[in-house]
Structures are given as structure tokens and as C-alpha cells.
Chain A
């Protein structure tokens, strides 16, 4: 019996979704390597609803009603909202090897699809051999492919993927081979919103390429979810610290989201800052008079633009002013 994984709706309104985990066929030539790419489930992961939405789509895909075609999801959100983590955790739950392929302005179609390369023939000469690119390699077995930073790659590079992502569902290689989209391959993407903020290298997604994706927005989590994440991950972090960090994140990110350039900050308080950096700072400065303030100064303020500093500090004064009494951790 294959393993079954259950996806719960965090809002409590949807029914739980049960999905069977994928099996990696042992006869694949790269079986060992592929199995090694199945991510570990993060015990501290908190689904804010994205995993459940993925599961809803996955359920439709597996039911394969007549006339339906596979859809591919691109998650769009600001830095530090946890887009890639969601996709990675979906792969972990489904037992799919996870291929994260970062797209940059330097990535070309040959990098993704493959090219003919020269190899030594062992006799002093050379011979040309086809070598799969990143995507082609992933497509040859069960995989969850995450094309991260979709809108950083040039449109001409992405054109090569059009056939794979639409009804044709296959990649034609220059060698004449056609690599079809297997039933156990899922393609995801992530991207930052294209606006005036400083996401260097991003551009507006080509309309034809964008049309081949389902684009879902990922926003910053609300305070109660941040608190939940912190509590799950740092069980001994005291409640006043959890609440203060969550409030800071919510208020800074509210300012970040402001459409009015005169009242907004250009750097959000990312989940990496909230879940990784600040708690580490609290651990380091646990003996300080005000560990949260010290962590803020050492692990948050250095990341922000100088012109945002007053705004960040005003948020600090309004929301916390004086951090909770030390020590931050119970033990």
C-alpha cells in the first residue's frame, strides 16, 4: 500500500485532502541520486494555506477529468514570504525529488534543455555527446521542478519551455528526442512582484509565458501565523518575545506594502529575519538588558536602506520601545 499524506485546510473550512505519495521507480538509471533529492519534511513548517491549495490542484490533476490538462503553479510574492519553502515542503510531503532551478538573466535555453558537448574519447581524440540540461534531466523521472525567479530569465530563454507548459506537454530536443511530461512530474515557479522595488534583474513576465501558469499570490503572514511559526520552531521562546517579534514583522511589512512611496519602506521584514536571524540574535544576546533591541540592531537594521532607518526605528518605538524582560528563552 502506498503511503498517504493528508493536507489540512489551515482555515478549517475545506475538507482534508488525502493524496498518495509518489514512488521513485528503482529501475531509473539515476535512482540513487533522485531519491537523495527528496526533501526532508520541515517539522517546524506552518502551512498558511498554500500547501492546501497545491493539494487541491493536485487532486484535480490525479482525478484527471476528461478534457482537463495539467496546470503549473507560479507563486508570486515579495522576498521572505516563504514561496520556495512552500513548494519544497509540498515535494517533501508527496515524496517527489525536488529540483530547484534558479533562473537568472544569464541562464540560456541550452542550460535548461541541454546541448551537445565535446568529450574525450579515451584515444586522444574527441567525440560529441548530447548532455541534458537542468530541466531535461529532471523530466526523465519523478520530480517536482521549481523554476525560481521566473521573471529574472530572458523571454527568449523561456520560449523554449512553452511546449512543455501547454497542452503539448513535451520538450523537443535538438537530437530529435521528445521528452514528455511524465504523470509524476510537477512544475512550479516562483517570482517576485515586478514593481519599482529593488528586485534587481527582474522584469515583466512575457504575456505568452505567463499565460501558461496559474499565478497565485503569497502575502506576508499575519501576526497569529508568525506567532505560531515561532512557537513551533522555538518552543522555549517566551510569549512576550513571540508577540513582539510578530507585531514588529506585521507593522514593518504593512509599511512595506504601502502603495504610497512617502509612507513605505523598501525592505520588508522577511520570514528569514523573523524566524532565523532575530531568534539567533536573542540567543546570542540573551544576557543583555534588552535582548530584543540588541537583536534588532545587529540582525535587522544592517539589512535595511539608510533612508528606511527612521521608519524602522519609529515602528520599533511604536510597537515595542522596550523589549520584554530577559532572558528570552525558558531554558
Chain B
């Protein structure tokens, strides 16, 4: 049963949508075949709608399908619920106007002009006839349109069959009859299947209405279906099913109609377009409200409203699995490019702060260069047939060592190293901390300066490296400005609160991994964005003021929120990205304040698992010593000017470790032992 197959969190909207994404290409293709329209697209949105070349499905409808307990798998539900919605959206066409049919019940005043179906039906039979019509029409559409996909139809049948015994038990005779009509027209149950479960009068009415039901199942004309619904209502009346209900007043009629609709809804998968008259009209109205093709982003198949976009964003985000068995979604996105607008200020601030905190780029390079060079040298092998001519070739020739004339690179590329710099970008890093003169919010700026310094070093040494910022908040998009960010954030949050209840906060405030400088991009291209981020961190109030002045062009400075990070997801993800490069020496440097929303124990186990793969993980705690508990190799920085030494020490130790692992030993590699400090890592 579906309930036993689904885990505790599998019913969450992001998992439902993620499951839909797997079947979406095929569903779109099926929809194109069904509609005969090769340009048709199926996308998710907050309101179901259908246009000439587009079908919009509401993912919440899919989720409702997972609440059924039936012998179906989650993947089958994903397919069937999506195809079900697409079929109804494509097939429900009730707007054709006709002259009031002569064989329908006589009216006091027959309209002389053509009228639409629902209007005619309402006049002929009222809300009860409408409900009966929608139940039959729903089943008919599924039978007729899903017959080419019998597998998907069988999923629906299994869901309905699992639900109808209970629904029949709780229903009045008239509701039983309505539900039975739905099941028989849809061929989900035969009259014989239902016989024992129906009240006597409902049973007799069903027998009497069998011919009408068969004809309803065979037609393609909704007007005919409406005629059969009126006929079935008459059958119900003949068998006394209307005797128990009050249809003499309008509220009474509507109450009965609602009861009938509820009975059918307990069984069928609800599709708003074919649920009832008001729901149908609402779908049609939403079609009119939708933005036109030119107003929508043509590159996306996501919903037009920010809340659905956010759900889809979370759904398609990678899931990171931790060694503890826990997992979580991580939004991975390039850092907003608008930060480059602050690049000029950022570069000036970087130079000033580097001078103030005595972080000299040259000095850092000078200290670490021999270690990197030593590692690099291991990439050369001598040989006699190919490679670069050794600078010592004359000596080797003179000595008769022809086999050592050439130095050949063993590696295919220079990708023998990979360094990943991960900077905590939560607002807690912007909090004031003790500094040399009083307090200042130096945490994030110090971390970014450290990352900048190390990035520049890696760039100088032609080492593959990545710089990423992580935080937990509403995720900014690469093209976001302050205006677009705050707008989409407030719209998405409001929409999610309306539709997702308690899950809204989880969906709006996500764990984010901003790629400032990915491995495959040049540092030169990322410098401006990074410098702009640095200025935002170093001068948060000035950056906020600049964003207020010109929100349409300013970067999304509001993306740094006061929300605790989930460091372990980001650390695990960064390590996994680095491992994909296939490098032999991997160093992951995490600059954080240690405040993880997850547990320190989980972070420690994650770091340990990464270390076991051969990656050196270095945790630099900014004004917080939590890193000492979580990272085997850690440095705590209490003052910004300590950062240089920490980075230097940390990376030096990481390099020494890699050299030691390779069995190298030279006097200049041996560490200077400092009491109480970790030295060479074995």
C-alpha cells in the first residue's frame, strides 16, 4: 500500500514535485499526443489553467493523491495524478453555446438564444443535476481520454477502488447513487461489484439507470452527458432517492449538491476544472488572469507565481546525504551578479582592510609557494621518450643518464590540487565582535578577506579552486537585485503561508550554497562579485543605504539573514563537488562562526567522513571555538589580524599532510613545532 511505501517526509510538497519532475517529460509528451498539439507545454503553477499551448497544473493536487492508501507506488501516483489533471484540463470544454435542448425538462421560460451548457443544466435541474453531471463527466473524460494509457488508468482505478467501499458506507442513498454512477461510467466498478454495498433504493436506481450510464460512457459530447445526468436525476426521483432530501429551497439544494460532491470527492482525484460549476468557472477565470506568453520568462517551465517557483526550486535542488543518515535539500546557485556593482568600493576596502589587518598577499604567497611547488613537482616524471626537456638535460647527457633527459607530466592536467573555500554567509557573521579597538562586525569581512587571499594565491599558483558562500534564508537568484529579491521573497513567503501552512517557513528559508567562483570559471570573472560581497560585509550599513537608494540596480544585500546555517550540508556538498574533479590533493577550508543549525556532532561526523576520503578539511572559526569540536584540523580566530596566520598555518599543514602521504621528506618541509599546536598530520 502507498502509505507503507512513503516515508515520513515523502508527502512534503517538494518531494511530490521532485517525483513529478521525473515523469514530467513523458507527461508532456503524452499531453501533446492527447491534444494533437506539438507545442503544448505542461508546467506547474499555483492555479490550474489551460491555454492554447499551455497546461498549468497545481502541484497541491498531486500531493492530495499521496494521501490515499491504495496498492500503488509513489512513482505511479506521480504519473497518474499528473496525467489525470492534464487530461481533465485538456478535455473539459463546456463553453459551447446551444439552443436549450427540446428533450430536456420543460422550463417556464425557455431562452430563445443559445446558452452555455452549465447555464442550461442549472435551469433544467439545479445544483443537484450539476453535481451528477460533473461526476459522470469526470468519469467519462477519464475513460475516453486515458484509454490509450491503460496503465495510468489502472492506477486511478486502484486508488478509487481502495476508497469507494468506505465512501459508500458513509453516504446517503442519493450520494451512493451519484458515486455509483461515477464508478460505473468510469468502469472502475461494475453494477455487480456495487450491488451488495448500496442501499436498496440506490441499487434499484442504478439498475434502472444502467442504459443511461452506458450511453454516457460512450459519448464524446458533454451536452449529451448533461442530458443523461438529467435522466439519471429523474431515475433517482422515481426510486425515492430525493424523498429524504429537501430540494424545495435553494440553500437546501446546494447543501444536497455539496453532500453529493463530497461523496464523490472521497473517491476520485479532484481536478478543479471538472469538480463543480464554480470550480470550473474559477479555472476559466484563472486562465484569463495568467500572464501572456510575452510576459512570462520563456526559458522556464516553472509557475508564474513566486510561491510555486519557490516550491519547484526546492524540489529540483540536490539532496545532500550525510553520514548520519540525515539528508536535506541544498539550493545551489551562482552568486548574484549585481554584487559586481559594489566592486570598486570593495576593492578599495579590501586593500585598506588588508593593510589594517596586516594581511599581505605577497607574504602569504611567499610562505606557501614552496609547499605548493613541492607538491606540483611530484607531477613530473623523468623519461627518455617524451615530455619537457629537463633543465638539467646537459648534466644528464654528460653523465650518460639519457633516460632522464625529459621530464614528463604524469598527470593529464594541472588538476592535481583542488582547493574549496567555503565562507559562512549568515547574518551572525555580521554581528559585532571584539576587535583591537572596541567592537566591530569583522566576522564576515575577515572571512571573505581570508577567502580572497587564498583564492588569489590559488589563482597565482594555477590551482583549481572554488569559492562558495553559504547561508540559510530565502535564496537569491543570479540576476536578482535588491528590489527583485525582496519582492519575490515577500510574495513567495506570503503565497507559501497561504498554501503550505506550517511547511511555509521550511520552503521559504532554504539552505543555500552560492557559488562565487566555481571550479570551471576564471577567478578574474568572479573577482568583482566577490569584491562587492566583501564591501557588503565590511560596510553593511552603507551597503544597505545604497540598496535603499537604488533597489532596482543594487545587489540583494538583504540575502544575509539572521538564520542559523546548516554547515554540514554545505561542507558535504563542497567536498563532493571537489571529489568529482579527480584530483589527488584536496583541501577544503571552511570559514565559519560555528553556529550550525544542525548538531555539532553531525558536522563532526560529516567532516570525519570527508577526511576519510583523503580530503583535508580545515575549519577556521571566526570568533567562536565550536570549530574545535567539529573539525579535526581547526584554528580559532579571535581577532581579524590573526586570520593570515591561521590561513597560512592551516593550508601549510594541509599541504604537508599531502606531502607526507606521498612519502616526501625534506628539511624545509619539516614543521616548526609549536607546543600545544597540531603539527604534521599523518
- A317:B25 contact, CB within 8 angstroms: no
Q: Does A169 contact B (CB under 8 A)?
A: no
- A319:B150 contact, CB within 8 angstroms: yes
Q: When the two chains form the complex, which single residue of A247, A254, A262, A322 contacts B33, counting CB atoms closer than 8 Å?
A: A254
- B51-59, B151-159, B352-360: which lies at the A interface? B151-159
Say whether, besides A318-B149, A321-B76, A263 and B29 are in contact (CB < 8 Å).
Answer: yes
Q: Does B446 contact A (CB under 8 A)?
A: no
Q: Does B27 contact A (CB under 8 A)?
A: yes
- A317:B29 contact, CB within 8 angstroms: no
Q: When the two chains form the complex, which single residue of A262, A264, A310, A318 contacts B151, counting CB atoms closer than 8 Å?
A: A318
Of B26, B33, B83, B155, most A-chain CB atoms within 10 Å: B26
Say whether, besides A254-B33, A255-B29, A264-B29, A317 and B22 are in contact (CB < 8 Å).
Answer: no
- B32:A318 contact, CB within 8 angstroms: no
In the complex, chain A residues whose CB is within 8 Å of the CB of B26: 255, 263, 310-311, 314-315, 318
- B154:A314 contact, CB within 8 angstroms: no
Q: Does B79 contact A (CB under 8 A)?
A: yes
Determine the interface band of chain A, counting residues with CB < 8 A from chain B.
20 to 34
- A321:B155 contact, CB within 8 angstroms: yes
In the complex, chain A residues whose CB is within 8 Å of the CB of B83: 318
Q: Does B38 contact A (CB under 8 A)?
A: yes
- A310:B155 contact, CB within 8 angstroms: no
Residue of B nearest to A309 (CB): B22
Residue of A nearest to B154 (CB): A321
- B32:A263 contact, CB within 8 angstroms: yes
- B79:A317 contact, CB within 8 angstroms: yes
CA distance A319 to B149 in the complex (A): 5
Nearest CB on A from B150, distance (A): 7
Nearest CB on A from B36, distance (A): 12
Do most interface residues of chain B lie in helix, strand or loop, or is the interface mixed? Answer: helix
In the complex, chain A residues whose CB is within 8 Å of the CB of B148: 247
- A310:B150 contact, CB within 8 angstroms: no
Nearest CB on B from A161, distance (A): 38
Nearest CB on B from A242, distance (A): 14
Q: Does A116 contact B (CB under 8 A)?
A: no
Residue of A nearest to B25 (CB): A263
Which A residues between 302 and 317 are near B, CB-CB below 8 angstroms?
A: 310-311, 313-317
Q: Does A320 contact B (CB under 8 A)?
A: yes
Nearest CB on B from A254, distance (A): 6
Which B residues between 130 and 163 are near A, CB-CB below 8 angstroms?
A: 148-152, 154-155
Q: Does A128 contact B (CB under 8 A)?
A: no
In the complex, chain A residues whose CB is within 8 Å of the CB of B32: 258, 263
Q: Does B30 contact A (CB under 8 A)?
A: yes
Nearest CB on A from B116, distance (A): 33
Q: When the two chains form the complex, which single residue of B25, B27, B30, B154 contacts A322, counting CB atoms closer than 8 Å?
A: B154
- A311:B154 contact, CB within 8 angstroms: no
Q: Does B75 contact A (CB under 8 A)?
A: yes
- A262:B28 contact, CB within 8 angstroms: yes
Q: Does A259 contact B (CB under 8 A)?
A: yes
In the complex, chain A residues whose CB is within 8 Å of the CB of B27: 314
Nearest CB on B from A308, distance (A): 9
Digitize B1-38: 1 where CB-to-A-CB distance is under 8 Å, 0 elsewhere. 00000000000000000000011011111101100001
Q: Count of chain B residues with Cβ under 8 Å from any Cβ of A?
A: 22
Digitize B37-48: 1 where CB-to-A-CB distance is under 8 Å, 0 elsewhere. 010000000000
- B152:A317 contact, CB within 8 angstroms: yes
- A320:B151 contact, CB within 8 angstroms: yes
Nearest CB on B from A62, distance (A): 42
In the complex, chain A residues whose CB is within 8 Å of the CB of B38: 259-260
In the complex, chain A residues whose CB is within 8 Å of the CB of B150: 319-321
Nearest CB on B from A39, distance (A): 37
Residue of A nearest to B23 (CB): A314
Of B23, B32, B75, B151, most A-chain CB atoms within 10 Å: B151
CA distance A319 to B25 in the complex (A): 15
Which A residues between 205 and 264 are near B, CB-CB below 8 angstroms?
A: 247, 254-255, 258-260, 262-264
Nearest CB on A from B143, distance (A): 16
CA distance A255 to B33 in the complex (A): 10
- A310:B22 contact, CB within 8 angstroms: yes
CA distance A322 to B151 in the complex (A): 7
Nearest CB on A from B170, distance (A): 30
In the complex, chain A residues whose CB is within 8 Å of the CB of B155: 317, 321
In the complex, chain A residues whose CB is within 8 Å of the CB of B28: 260, 262-263
Which A residues between 280 and 331 are near B, CB-CB below 8 angstroms?
A: 310-311, 313-322
In the complex, chain B residues whose CB is within 8 Å of the CB of A321: 76, 150-152, 154-155
Say whether, besides A318-B83, A320-B151, A262 and B25 are in contact (CB < 8 Å).
Answer: yes
Residue of A nearest to B42 (CB): A263
- B25:A316 contact, CB within 8 angstroms: no
- A318:B152 contact, CB within 8 angstroms: yes
Residue of A nearest to B151 (CB): A321
Nearest CB on A from B16, distance (A): 16
CA distance A260 to B33 in the complex (A): 13
CA distance A266 to B535 in the complex (A): 48
CA distance A258 to B79 in the complex (A): 19
Nearest CB on A from B457, distance (A): 39
CA distance A263 to B24 in the complex (A): 8
Say whether, besides A262-B25, A310-B23, A322-B154, A317 and B76 are in contact (CB < 8 Å).
Answer: yes
Which B residues between 54 and 78 are near A, CB-CB below 8 angstroms?
A: 75-76
Nearest CB on A from B153, distance (A): 9
CA distance A258 to B31 in the complex (A): 12
Nearest CB on B from A103, distance (A): 34
Nearest CB on B from A245, distance (A): 13
CA distance A319 to B148 in the complex (A): 7
Residue of A nearest to B39 (CB): A260
Q: When the two chains form the complex, which single residue of A254, A255, A311, A317 contacts B75, counting CB atoms closer than 8 Å?
A: A317
Residue of B nearest to A257 (CB): B29
Digitize B488-529: 1 where CB-to-A-CB distance is under 8 Å, 0 elsewhere. 000000000000000000000000000000000000000000
CA distance A258 to B26 in the complex (A): 11
CA distance A318 to B79 in the complex (A): 7
Of A247, A259, A317, most B-chain CB atoms within 10 Å: A317
Nearest CB on A from B373, distance (A): 41
CA distance A314 to B26 in the complex (A): 6
CA distance A318 to B145 in the complex (A): 12
Of A247, A254, A263, A316, most B-chain CB atoms within 10 Å: A263
15 pairs, A vs B, C-beta closer than 8 Å = A258-B29, A260-B38, A262-B25, A263-B25, A263-B28, A311-B25, A314-B23, A314-B25, A314-B79, A315-B26, A317-B75, A317-B79, A317-B151, A318-B30, A320-B150
11 new A-B pairs (CB below 8 Å) besides A263-B32, A317-B79?
A255-B29, A259-B38, A260-B38, A263-B25, A263-B29, A313-B75, A314-B22, A314-B23, A317-B23, A318-B30, A322-B154
8 smallest beta-carbon distances between A and B, as pairs = A321-B151, A314-B26, A318-B149, A263-B29, A318-B152, A314-B23, A263-B25, A310-B22
Chain A interfacial positions (CB closer than 8 Å to B): 247, 254-255, 258-260, 262-264, 310-311, 313-322
Chain B interfacial positions (CB closer than 8 Å to A): 22-23, 25-30, 32-33, 38, 75-76, 79, 83, 148-152, 154-155
